[in-house]
Structure 1
């Protein structure tokens, strides 16, 4: 049963609560407006007028492969902590408690795994996109399937979700500003500097947007804990069971079985297989920069427990009775923040909105340009490819803007995102990681694995949610889909002729250690420290 279905309430109660939340439009003072508009103008100026080379495809799409570790780390963090994450995670914490943090700590482990194990192969492949890697590892059929799938996910899930979240919050604080107007404004701001400056401009703005985002998140946390009476008051007021991280099999949010078989697969897709995240690793100046950027992103993600999840739980006692999870974050801003601070936190929210939008836009336009246009017209010049990338940026954000308002029809924002990921991503995780770690995987095996995996997911959705023949939690879906895809990849690959694979496309422990022997030893301790911090947080809230 969905979270939304379990939040039973009367129509009169719902309407009264919505009216209460809508009254927050009166809380935005002139000072808040000045701070908000000033920071947005600064972001736009930094993105447009900063120095950016965009003459070649490598300059435009991968920032000339010159990004430093701190740029990569902050950009990964800003892209992850999107507007939809702020609203979705806070709302989920309000409803289900700290169990929502399971997605975050699994993501931290995924980043550490990427940094220590996979970064050498990804960097060494010298590709622009994961789809290009799949072409060299398998064939163009696999690339086309992956590219189409990822573009759809970026447009209808990542970007549309952020635009929906932005409209949901900002139209409550600025009278007369509809969701559609918010979406258009974000399109213009993020789209403009993304088109003009490419990846370099995005990384430059993400650095400053991350700082504002972190400051805003800390402000929310500070005023939440102050209002609830500090840590002792928080522990006393937290509802029974809300601080239990590991839940039972019948938990409606994150059952322990779903944590084992579902969340890791979703995390593997998001951090290891998603072009929106991997593009930052491909843009690094060196393998060391890529690895340390991933570890920095993991370290920054540890803040999520304290600045997003726990404040969402504190809001249960501070703002009781709200029945729409997606309205919790706006209500917290309205009820808890004084003038001036509200403007800063709203600027942090807009920073998250812009950071996710610009990165997602760029990832989608890179896939369209490099995996489809260049494939059909290999003779096309770099200048024309950059121009096509800019045009595709506007087309992509336009489609996302059209779809964004419809997300409200699918329950909560959190359910919408996690439900789609649970059904759709497992076959792509199997094929991508299988191709990297198993030399015997063939192109026919990859095609068969993708086909059978997607068909299995569709059948589960049809007979489960569609016809209601059985009840399955969405976090239990990735396991059968993964098993079907794995078995198919193995069987069909062994029935096919063994492929002749370029060694640079395969993971090798010996080659990785030889290439980075000095720096890897130092970074390994950083990664182990990150894992230890993550493990400590899990143990504390077990």
Structure 2
């Protein structure tokens, strides 16, 4: 039975790899733009698929279902409210980046403030990816695979040794994929996997309800809808993982940062053919977000009724998939989880190379009069990416010792890096005279203050509220410095476009935006005390 799962998994994974190879094997990765941005040639279907799959990694499969199992559907808010954030990014942030011909999101900071600010933020990004993103993706993938394939039993080794084995395996495969294929190969495979997620999003809940209802899907659905109703509630209380009030404070800030400023996310959109294709791609990713609870949250709901007590709550999703699905479909889900893990991992590694080469190494090499040819840039970039992969593999297994749940670990750690960058960029977007020194002081102040509130002083305030409070204080500090020491020459928002891509916007964006917002709100209503949780 287990070998059927393995064969199914290998066939599905191989199919994705073959399609990606067919679509990309003729491309020549001669320049950094070819390698890091796919030659700016991506259409909206590829942009939307890659944007969604880069976001959806094994971390979400593991972490969100775990949170539903422990708490309730309130964790769904991370994905649902991101739709609002993505539409803001589509309308306001993306045109700014494309106007200046940005390769990385910190490129805007060099235009708005100075090159030093760009370098500082690039270092913050790199630290975030090395400490948080890459290790978390590897660990989440390892936990998912152990739950579905029971590698520990097959190899007769300890759980700790199993996590190490799987982290190394995913790191090696993902590293090869990123280093050899570049962004376009990642994006093509993401598009195929996006279609697979639509299928998997229907299969797992269907078989989960069928298993719960002893062969009757309707009976299984009735069990979920008639007992333990508190788990159906997406309106989080102050004691839940995601209180409702945080949707309008720290969560909004983190989502705006994530979708509009996070390099490994925005890199997918910056590679679009033009502004209209980028905006359509974001809308497509929003649609994917609407249906993602079928795989990210509903399995956790079903697991609440099947497993009374799980020693390792992070294993909720893989355990359920392994128990309720036929071997063929278990292999498919495993391939989707593996592909999602590889997608986020590869995108992170690609962005690490982009940030290091374009924002740090290339300026340094040119200043020192060293070789900065395209061939040399690609060579150094790949070496740096390889080093980051090794560091990520060494850190990842130790996440097992984190407390408060895997998903909470990810969000708390990422907040150290995300909100200070968001603060600098948002002040840069909305003001003309705030000086470069304010950006540097603001970033340093936020990181120190947030560290104190999380590790030194117990404020009793939810970390997402604390993020919002420190954001406001940091913005006020930067505005004060802008008032006292304004830039002698204000920033010009109407500068001539770089001419990299066509900046004509998508004419139907407002209609689709309204539809997406209405559907987002209805989803919250359905999973609330006035809906299914009453």
TM-score between the two structures when normalised by the length of structure 1: 0.88
Q: 1:193 to 1:460 in 2, by over 3 A?
A: same
Q: CA deviation at 1:504?
A: 5.1
Q: 1:254 to 1:505 in 2, by over 3 A?
A: farther
RMSD value, Cα: 2.2
Determine the C-alpha separation between the residues in 1 that align with 2:100 and 2:341: 31
Q: Pick from 390, 393, 398: which aligns with 1:406?
A: 398
Q: Pick from 410, 432, 435: which aligns with 1:439?
A: 432
Q: CA deviation at 1:506?
A: 11
Answering whether residue 182 of structure 2 is matched by residue 193 of structure 1, we say no
Determine the C-alpha separation between the residues in 2 that align with 1:223 and 1:266: 35
**Per-residue CA distance 1:348-385 (angstroms, 9 max, x = gap):** 11111111111111011111111111010136111111
Determine the C-alpha separation between the residues in 1 that align with 2:421 and 2:495: 17
Answering whether residue 26 of structure 2 is matched by residue 51 of structure 1, we say yes
Alignment check: 8 A CA contact 2:102 2:270 kept: yes
Equivalences for 1:496-535 in 2 at 5 Å?
496-498=485-487, 499-503=489-493, 516=504, 520-535=506-521
Q: Pick from 435, 438, 448: which aligns with 1:455?
A: 448
Answering whether residue 133 of structure 2 is matched by residue 170 of structure 1, we say no
The alignment of Structure 1 onto Structure 2 pairs a total of residues equal to 502
Unaligned runs of 5+ in 2: 529-534
Q: Pick from 132, 141, 148: which aligns with 2:116?
A: 141
Q: CA deviation at 1:523?
A: 1.8
Q: CA deviation at 1:441?
A: 2.5
**Per-residue CA distance 1:457-508 (angstroms, 9 max, x = gap):** 12212333xxx4x42322222122101211111001121233432435799x
Alignment check: 8 A CA contact 1:87 1:326 kept: yes
Q: Which residue in 2 is equivalent to 1:16? A: none
Q: Pick from 516, 522, 525: which aligns with 1:539?
A: 525
Alignment check: 8 A CA contact 2:72 2:232 kept: yes
Determine the C-alpha separation between the residues in 1 that align with 2:436 and 2:144: 46
Q: CA deviation at 1:261?
A: 1.3
Q: 1:275 to 1:300 in 2, by over 3 A?
A: same
Q: Which residue in 2 is equivalent to 1:473? A: 462
Q: Which residue in 2 is equivalent to 1:245? A: 234
Q: CA deviation at 1:292?
A: 0.6
Determine the C-alpha separation between the residues in 2 that align with 1:502 and 1:182: 50
Q: Which residue in 2 is equivalent to 1:214? A: 198
Q: Which residue in 2 is equivalent to 1:81? A: 56
Q: Secondary structure at the match of 2:239?
A: coil
**Per-residue CA distance 1:4-50 (angstroms, 9 max, x = gap):** xxxxxxxxxxxxxxxxxxxxxxxx52221111122333444445562
Equivalences for 1:40-439 in 2 at 5 Å?
40-47=13-20, 50-172=25-147, 173=149, 174=151, 175-176=154-155, 178-228=162-212, 229-230=217-218, 232-248=221-237, 250-378=238-366, 380-411=372-403, 412-439=405-432
Q: 1:184 to 1:504 in 2, by over 3 A?
A: farther
Q: Secondary structure at the match of 1:421?
A: helix
Q: Secondary structure at the match of 1:211?
A: helix
Unaligned runs of 5+ in 1: 1-27, 508-513
Determine the C-alpha separation between the residues in 1 that align with 2:45 and 2:503: 22
Q: Secondary structure at the match of 1:520?
A: coil
Q: Which residue in 1 is equivalent to 2:4? A: 31
Q: Which residue in 2 is equivalent to 1:4? A: none
**Per-residue CA distance 1:49-105 (angstroms, 9 max, x = gap):** 623221111111111111111111000111111011110011111111110111111
Q: Which residue in 2 is equivalent to 1:19? A: none
Determine the C-alpha separation between the residues in 1 that align with 2:250 and 2:134: 23
Determine the C-alpha separation between the residues in 1 that align with 2:171 and 2:413: 24
Q: CA deviation at 1:410?
A: 1.0
Q: Which residue in 2 is equivalent to 1:488? A: 477
Q: 1:423 to 1:318 in 2, by over 3 A?
A: same
Alignment check: 8 A CA contact 2:432 2:492 kept: no
Determine the C-alpha separation between the residues in 1 that align with 2:61 and 2:479: 40
Alignment check: 8 A CA contact 1:444 1:493 kept: no
